[in-house]
Amino acid sequence: MKAVMYYGRQDVRVEDIADPGSPAEGEVKVAIAWAGICGSDLHLYTEGPSYPTTPTADRPQPRTGETLPVVLGHEFAGTVVEAGDGVSALSVGDAVAIKADMPCGDCAACNAGLTNICRNSRGFGLSGGGGGLSEFVLVPEANAFPVGDLPLDQAAMIEPLAVATHGVRRSGAGAGDIALVGGAGPVGILTAAVLKAKGARVVISEPNAVRRQAAVDGGLVERAVDPAAEDLHAVIAEITGGDGVDVAFDCAGVVPVTHDLIRAIRPGGHLQVIAIPARPLDLDVQVEMHLTEITYAGMFGYRDEDYRDAIAMARGADLDLGPFISRRIAPERIVEEGFDVLLDRGNTAVKILVDPRA
């Protein structure tokens, strides 16, 4: 079968590899319809493997035992074509979105219910054991979430939507809150979509005009601000009567943006960091913490409940993922029409999907 194989920094190849065969007990075999390109894929491509999550050519991934190359792709959806013994909740023909991570169930994080930060997690498309940029994959039944009649191209976006869902859950934001989202890239757009679906009033700050317009056209925001041409804090003061927003979301990972978001939050509000900052964030503890009593939280990945919530939102009337699919490409074009486009600072793509069978 065709697959996009990751060999290391700036080295991906489309190859014919062996079909994974029939599923073992408790597994299903999925014919993959669409796979998305994620920021993690871009990081692997530009920076190289992040051991131990992703193995190297010399060091096997601790749980899969595989070394490079591995199949890429951890945002994907498809159709169940075969079910192993013991599978009870899924049937052949079911459309499913795949939850990419597989926590160990034994570490301190797992024992505390924090499976998304499992210390020994392994992931499809990152650690071996198959990935979404191939024609077929074997997955545990627990990792295949039914999506009903949701189109499979949109189902391939459930993974990043679940990330945004987990971030909003961590923040505590809900109906009636005024939320400021910094950055209208893929995660920022999806965070705004989750907030809107939960009844929050959303303002987004983004210098890229096309991305701002995508947020507006999608009906996600009350106001889209160009921070390079407008006074963000004056806009926030106008909207909130001078109080500041209830919660802000850092979806840019740019340190000056983070500090701008902090300034826009009301006393006792919350900063939810979703993006990974490009460099360490230096906080003025007196001004930005003590005198404001703002709470700060990071987040990582998602849990089962985030997947279920993301699917419910995507199938509901308040969220249409279709407009956020920027282009669809063949595996052979993944570098030129996928990675290179997304790595271009001026790019306007929200989500690029790959058809593994094209």
CATH code of the region 164-297: 3.40.50.720
Taking only the tens of pLDDT, the chain with its 358 residues reads 999 999 999 999 999 999 999 999 999 999 999 999 998 999 999 999 998 999 999 999 999 999 999 999 999 999 999 999 999 999 999 999 999 999 999 999 999 999 999 999 999 999 999 999 999 999 999 999 999 999 999 999 999 999 999 999 999 999 999 999 999 999 999 999 999 999 999 999 999 998 899 899 989 999 999 999 999 999 999 999 999 999 999 999 999 999 999 999 999 999 999 998 878 989 999 999 999 999 999 999 999 999 999 999 999 988 899 999 999 999 999 999 999 999 987 788 889 999 999 9
Domains 2-157+321-354 and 164-297 share a fold: no
Contacts of 168 (CB under 8 A, 6+ apart): 191, 194, 195, 198, 249, 272
Q: How far apart are CA 111 and CA 122, in angstroms?
A: 17
User: What's residue 318's pLDDT?
Assistant: 83
Assigned superfamily of 2-157+321-354: Medium-chain alcohol dehydrogenases, catalytic domain (3.90.180.10)
User: What's residue 350's pLDDT?
Assistant: 86
User: What's residue 355's pLDDT?
Assistant: 98
pTM, whole model, 2 decimals? Answer: 0.96
Parse the chain into domains and list their residue ranges: 2-157+321-354, 164-297
